[in-house]
Amino acid sequence: MPYITKISAQKNNKDRVNIFLDEKYAFSVDMDVLVKFDLRKGKLLDELDVIEIQYGDDIKKGFNKALDYLSYRMRSTKEVKDHLKKKGAADSAVTEIIHMLKSHKYLDDREFAAAYVSTHRKTSGKGPDVLYKELQLKGIDEDLIQEALRSFTFSEQVAAAVKHAEKLLKKGKKLSSRETKQAIEQQLIRKGFSFEAISAALLEIDYENDDDSEREALDKQGEKAMRRYHYDGSYETKMKVKQFLFRKGFSLDMIDQYLDEKG
């Protein structure tokens, strides 16, 4: 049975040592693994001992990789599992590493979900529906997602939706009142807000044009339509322009008046 004839520190990694069996290099281990398995000069090791020690070292290496990955920001359990597998860790090792991380309080999906909702609703203005889908992709359980989202109250959702809508209005695009409303609704849906929150937000903002602004928007969109359809006053091009402007949300009375003026 081979025995340890030499233990030497690695030059480039003070946390690891090289193990020599019968005067020949056999493997290297972390210092914690050295202590855990009581590796010392003269100790006999059979094949099963070596397999167990190397598996223990794989666990330690994976644990260190996980800690490094967690040092940048909080992660979900699924994110850490995926990272370890990407780094080549075996499934059995991943299971044990995850257990160790949770026992040391380095991983907690409940805390992760709560922090994720709190951070992203403030920094990116995401609504509940988007946050829900993102947490699902990160492997968070349904009950933990719902628990975290309860902290995002309806009044806070409406306030966030209003903020998005006001930013859109500040861009000053020349749109009809109806198209402005549709643009706001589409933006808020993409951001993950419910129809109830969107409806409440629309009641708090002034998105409707006065008569002069509506006509100014009509003039701008009308010019665009006339260039697109090469308006020449014919019935065919007039109908194309009319349909275009109607789709843009302008009333038929305003469109007819505009086209009468253009001849």
Q: What is the pLDDT of residues 224-236, one digit of tens each?
A: 888 888 988 888 8
Residue 197: band (very low, low, confident or very high) from pLDDT cuts 50, 70, 90: very high
Task: Determine the average pLDDT of the residues in 44-53.
Answer: 95
pTM, rounded to two decimals: 0.76
* Percentage of the residues of the chain whose pLDDT score is greater than 90: 69
Confidence grade of residue 93 (pLDDT, cut at 50, 70, 90):
very high
Task: Give the total residue count for the chain.
Answer: 263
What is the mean pLDDT of the segment spanning 48-64?
A: 95
pLDDT at residue 137, rounded to an integer: 97
Question: In this structure, are residues 132 and 117 in contact, taking their beta carbons and an 8 Å threshold?
Answer: no
Which range, 125-134, 226-235, 247-256, has the best average confidence (pLDDT)? 125-134
| Overall CATH class of domain 109-152 | mainly alpha
Q: Please state, in angstroms and rounded to a whole number, the distance separating the CA atoms of residues 195 and 173.
A: 24
User: In the prediction, which pLDDT does 187 show?
Assistant: 94
Share of the chain above pLDDT 70, in %: 99
Lowest-confidence region among 16-20, 152-156, 242-246: 242-246
pLDDT band at 246 (very low <50, low <70, confident <90, very high): confident
Which of 130-134, 201-205, 249-253 has the weakest average pLDDT? Answer: 249-253
Collect all residues with Cβ–Cβ distance below 8 Å to 202 and sequence separation of at least 6.
165, 181, 184, 185
Query: Average of pLDDT values for 70-91?
Result: 96
Higher pLDDT, 254 or 50: 50
Choosing among 1.10.3720.10, 3.10.20.90, 1.10.10.10, 3.40.309.10, the CATH entry for 4-103 is: 1.10.10.10
| Choice among 47-56, 103-112, 185-194, 243-252 with the minimum mean pLDDT | 243-252
pLDDT score recorded for residue 67: 96
Structure tokens at 152: 């995002």
- Options 2.40.240, 3.40.30, 1.10.10, 2.20.25; which CATH number does 158-207 get? 1.10.10
Between CA 113 and CA 119, with CA 114 as vertex, the angle to 5 degrees is: 100
User: Which residues are CB-contacts of 255 (< 8 A; sequence separation ≥ 6)?
Assistant: 218, 242, 245, 246
Please report how the helices 154-170 and 177-191 are oriented relative to each other, as an axis angle in degrees rounded to 10. Answer: 130
Residue 146 has pLDDT above 80, yes or no: yes
Q: What is the mean pLDDT of residues 189-208?
A: 93
Using the predicted structure, report yes or no on whether residue 172 has a pLDDT greater than 80: no
Looking at residue 252, what is its pLDDT?
Answer: 85
Looking at residue 219, its pLDDT comes to 81
